[in-house]
Structure 1
Amino acid sequence: MKTVDAHLAEILDTVRPLDPVELDLDAALGATLAEDVTSPVALPPFDNSAMDGYAVRAEDVATATGDEPVVLPVTLDVAAGDTAPRAVAPGSVTRIMTGAPVPEGADAVVPVEWTDGGAVKVTVHRAAPLGNAIRRAGEDVQAGDVVLPAGTLIGPAQLGILAGVGRRGVLARPRPRVVVLSTGSELVEPGAPLGHGQIWESNSFTLVAAVRQAGGEASRRRAVGDDPEEFSATLHALLGEADAVITSGGISMGAYEPVKEALSPLGTVRFEKVAMQPGMPQGFGVLGDRRVPIFTLPGNPVSSYVSFVLYVKPALAKMRGLPAGPAATVTAATTSALRSPAGRRSYLRGVLSSSADGRTLVAPVHGQGSHQLAALATANALIVVPEDVTAVPEGAAVQVIPL
């Protein structure tokens, strides 16, 4: 059987980062910058007040105390957005609002809390040192500075600085568009009545949510039956709107395996056994002139989700232009003894937690079958047991993939 590492390596060698496109800021969340972004101006572009208060010459309030305040006339107001040139004459103050430009001659701002709040004259109860409550021009960014380098994942803060340096759009790698398609004649849409031998279809909902959580855009299609021609027609109708396709089911060794039957003759998708549990049957390849990656995952719910974590999630990261590799692990002590089949890497579902004395613990959940979706729903981690290990004693250190 193929190793987990070899299967992932083949996938990452095949998928490519998406081509950059120009994205409006409203559509750029979750995309990855494909250019360095520089600021055309200094930020802030002018000295401005960090607080509501009074712009002063610091020497005029240097002696102010609670017992002996300084009283000065208020000559004008300056609000945020005021574009007129202003100046503070010696022996006077200007009432100023947060974000307003500091008038010429002022070298400090007295917060309104240090005064009586007067509008015609103000009583100052505390001295303000030079530069107090003033945001200096360029103290955040200088003109020409790179504020975001290429390869940056665009989140809320990154969108803020993009807008802050005047950008309306950016060159970025978009979130991959992923279509999810389940197969199986036994599958019924949730909410519909069940007939004998039928189950509600759940894999596509799990996988769509996983894609979105991993930074992609996902859509699901109603499950198709075990007819290879129906599957093929449905799949090829979707390729034009997809950067990647995920299927679940139809790839095992049984008599009704529509995914395998439809795709094997193409010669661009390989179906193999991978030395892992759950999820031994795996398929991967590319489709069409655009070489759209297709991940054909097993149909058992746990196998499908574990396969996504191990293979699809790293591939989506590479498509987004982000670092991609094996799932990150942490070390934890298992609270129970573990067993694993020889020759396969096991991914046992577990609950990761911290003990009262600060140790990281992981407890296997009750129900490790590849069909036990309820047990998976209680887990927040996968416990990794290597291929050459068949038994792990209670308290031993294990590697754990947080979910």
Structure 2
Amino acid sequence: MNWSEPTRILATCGRGCAGALQKELRRLGYVAEAISDTVVGVEGDLRDAMRLNLWLRTANRILFEVAGFAVESPDELYAAVRDLPWEEWLRGDVPFHIHGVAEHSTIRDSRFALLRCKDAIADRFVAATGARPDSTARAEGAAGIALFWQEGVAHIYLDTSGVPLSHRGYRWRPWTAPLRETLAAAILLELNWPKEPAEALVHPMCGSGTLAIEAAWMAQNRAPGLSREAFAFEFLNDAPMSVWEALKEEARGQLVAAPRAWISAGDNAPAAVVCARENAERAGVAGLIRFHTCDFRAMPLPKPPALVVLNPGYGERVGLEENLGPLYENIGTWLKMNCQGMRGAVFTGSIPLGRQVGLRPSRRTTLWNGPIECRLLEYELYAGTRDSRLLRKHAGENPPQTPQ
């Protein structure tokens, strides 16, 4: 297989993250085309696919296209897939894993189309080599294949990631309703942090510490793929592993071990702070993050410029939306009274609760946390007077917070 031949590469992401992913790809020097709100496409060879697996912070998977064809039935799909030279792409001693989506009037379930593809690959292997490869339902330790079939057109990809790229390897102890690593990175990119070189990051309600850890990795210019144990491209036939080793060595050379970044994370739950600190230690950045066990209003604040990001509970996961209004109002009061000259941001899955902050957002961004449609609300915290009714109503109150 000529792995240096360019083809279309798709980077998939969570809903709403395509803008941040496009920004990443352009910074890496690619011409990036947003195909949907969860897919961005570029052109490149297998080296590029390796590089994207190594560097992208917001992508879920990197898919390397090997074929596209018109098919109108499962039998036609089987025949087209069987004609592909799988013995050139896959190793006989490694199982393969297939996933994807099929939407066609001739089938009711994507699993049937995937089964036909799996049979076609195995039958081709038997005809070409005399041996039948194993298939597996797990992405770990397997070559990856992806099918996307919509009406009359099917595309076949080699999934070069395997296990989703959100699995960085450092978060062994999650906390309540944790942020996925790729979503945390997308939040930071959407907020354009650091907006200027000296901008600090303050993250109350840190939960398992994911956002602070992703920020520390960004400050280090650390390629997130350096922490991974394996990628699916390693199991391809004649994969150029010397190229991969060179890419990793180049990335290590660009890492800034001790950046001049002010990052703090806090939570009012001691167990959450223990969890966040342990995750930061596994990520190699515990020394870059100041941890505090305290209510968000007791968080030590640096001098501006700084970005203050809060991810409070929003009810859908913890079942407490009706009780969270005072918390959001107190967040707004604290931001306005204590964080003047800084930027503030609140990430929430509840539009009504977001309004309870009582500040006018300078920017609203829609992101999805799994199935939950969320808003990232950004505030420029100038000196001034917040909604006087909320200030009078909640002055001095200390409602319990629900950390994320």
Same fold, judged at TM 0.5 (above):
no
Q: TM-score range by the shorter chain?
A: under 0.3
Give the structure-2-normalised TM-score: 0.25
- Which one has a bigger Cα radius of gyration? 1
